[in-house]
């Protein structure tokens, strides 16, 4: 019998000033009053560590398991001493700052942690938009001038979004999530962010949030004019499930599944994260079962050889893994 089993975690909430309470109301989570801008669903970071809530490992952290069972948890990928991905829910009750993260190459050159990310839009208001990349080719000196004068928005793609959209944000791409977006974000395990514009907001003491223009100029991809929206590709359809590829990238793959009846979940020799967007069901494995509800996140360890997913209604989930 395997040591590891499907792991469930206590969410880590962040109260950034632009957040709301959609995370709680959408998924019937009972928490105190306050701002819930983000929920870190799977995280191996000191500033937001995932705590296991089920089974014999209850009370252990994700980092504990990475250290004690690296191959059993991670499998063939990224045996680097920490979990390689971070999964978040984000409720943009207001606009997030315009920001950028370094890619792998520039993180090595200039410091910081590399961060490529992607957003799956769980829901959006009618007027919701995201900002990502440049809307034309501009000389670098003109971009730098507009960064200094806080007029960078006029140079960026402003893209209306709706439920089900998939947005790719590689390191080096200027971006922001706009007001009214409710998204699921998958990213490299990083928290390096260079903020270039914050809508002239001030904190409770009247101070503007810090900007990082010098660091941003070192890592921005000035030639980035690519539309960040991706088109889903249907991979397989049977009488019991449908499977789509939403994103294929070097840092992670994203799939969407809808399941109509009991299936044996396809496993391979590495970890995967499942986020259950809609419906209810039951996960069954050797030695255990777990009820699945809308908004549940689960980490499947690499050594888990078999898993059954059972439902009596349409169960919708997002699947994340490293190729």
Q: Is 195 a catalytic residue?
A: yes
200 and 298 inside one domain: no
**Mean pLDDT across the chain:** 96
Asked whether the beta carbons of 132 and 161 are under 8 A apart, the reply is: no
Q: Are 298 and 282 in contact (CB under 8 A)?
A: no
Given a cut of 90, whether residue 268 has pLDDT beyond it is no
Domain assignment of residue 2, yes or no: no
Percent of the chain with pLDDT over 90: 93
Domain final residue pick, 202, 229, 256: 229
Average pLDDT rounded to a whole number, residues 107-136: 98
Angstrom distance (rounded) from CA 212 to CA 195:
5
pLDDT band of 1, cuts 50, 70, 90? low
* pLDDT at 2 (0 to 100): 76
User: Where a domain ends, among 188, 206, 229?
Assistant: 229
Can you tell me the mean pLDDT for 245-267?
97
Mention every residue, 6+ apart, whose C-beta is less than 8 A from residue 200. Answer: 150, 208
Q: Tell me, what's the pLDDT at 151?
A: 96
**pLDDT tens-digit profile of 3-39?**
899 999 999 999 999 999 999 999 999 999 999 999 9
Identified catalytic residue from 22, 106, 173, 195: 195
Give tens-digit pLDDT for 67-86: 999 999 999 876 678 999 99
54 with 192, same domain: the answer is: yes
Domain that holds residue 288: 233-321
Mean pLDDT of the 295-304 span: 98
pLDDT band, very low/low/confident/very high, at 205 (cuts 50, 70, 90): confident
- For residue 269, what pLDDT is reported? 87
Identify whether 123 is part of a domain. yes
Residues of the binding site for Zn(2+): 101, 117, 175
**299 and 273 Cβ atoms separated by less than 8 Å:** yes
19 lies in the same domain as 107: yes
Q: Are residues 89 and 127 in the same domain?
A: yes
Does residue 108 sit in the same domain as residue 222?
A: yes
* Residues 165 and 238 reside in one and the same domain: no
* pLDDT score, position 78: 60
CATH label of the domain that carries residue 259 = 2.60.120.10
Most distant CA atoms of the chain, gap in Å: 62
Whether 156 and 33 share a structural domain: yes
The last residue of one of the domains, among 229, 245, 269, is: 229
Q: Is the pLDDT of residue 204 over 90?
A: no
**pLDDT over 70 at 162, yes or no:** yes
Residue 192 included in any domain: yes
For residue 200, being part of any structural domain is answered with yes
Q: What letters, b where the CB count within 10 A reaches 16 and e where it falls short, cover 161-197?
A: beeebbbbbbbbbbbbbbbbbbbbbbbbbbebbbbbb
Binding-site positions read 101, 117, 175
Average pLDDT score over residue span 43-49:
98
Same domain, 111 and 254: no
Same domain, 190 and 52: yes
Please give the average per-residue pLDDT across 190-202, as a whole number: 95
Residue 193 has pLDDT above 90, yes or no: yes
Beta partners for residue 234, in sequence order:
244
Number of domain units in the chain: 2
pLDDT grade, residue 92 (50/70/90)? very high
Q: CA quadruple 7, 10, 14, 19: dihedral positive or negative?
A: positive
Q: Is 311 helix (H, G, I), strand (E, B) or coil?
A: coil
Pair of tokens at residue 123: 């829901």
Mean of pLDDT values over 175-183: 99
């Amino acid at each position: 019998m395997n040591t590891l089993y499907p792991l469930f975690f206590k969410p880590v909430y962040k109260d950034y000033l632009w957040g709301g309470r959609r995370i709680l109301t959408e998924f019937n989570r009972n928490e105190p009053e306050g701002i819930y801008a983000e929920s870190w669903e799977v995280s191996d970071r000191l500033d937001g560590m995932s705590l296991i809530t089920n089974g014999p490992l209850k009370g252990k952290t994700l980092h504990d398991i990475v250290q004690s069972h690296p191959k059993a948890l991670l499998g063939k990928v990224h045996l680097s001493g920490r979990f390689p991905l971070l999964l978040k829910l984000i409720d943009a009750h207001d606009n997030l700052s315009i920001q950028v993260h370094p890619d792998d190459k520039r993180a090595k050159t200039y410091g910081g942690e590399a961060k490529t990310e992607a957003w799956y839009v769980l829901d959006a208001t009618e007027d919701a938009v995201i900002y990502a990349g440049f809307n034309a080719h501009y000389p670098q000196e003109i971009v730098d001038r507009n960064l200094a004068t806080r007029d960078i928005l006029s140079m960026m793609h402003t893209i209306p979004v709706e439920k089900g959209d998939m947005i790719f944000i590689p390191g080096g791409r200027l971006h922001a999530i706009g007001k009214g977006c409710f998204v699921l974000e998958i990213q490299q395990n990083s928290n390096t962010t260079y903020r270039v514009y914050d809508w002239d907001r001030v904190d409770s003491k009247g101070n503007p949030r810090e900007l990082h223009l010098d660091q941003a100029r070192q890592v921005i991809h000035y030639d980035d004019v690519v539309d960040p929206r991706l088109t889903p590709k249907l991979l397989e359809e049977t009488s019991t499930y449908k499977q789509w590829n939403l994103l294929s990238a070097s840092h992670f793959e994203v799939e969407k599944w809808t399941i109509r009846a009991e299936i044996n979940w396809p496993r391979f020799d590495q970890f995967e994260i499942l986020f259950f967007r809609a419906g209810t069901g039951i996960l069954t494995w050797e030695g255990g079962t777990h009820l699945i509800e809308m908004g549940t996140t689960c980490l499947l360890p690499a050594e888990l050889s078999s898993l059954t997913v059972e439902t009596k209604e349409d169960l919708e989930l997002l699947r994340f893994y490293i190729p």
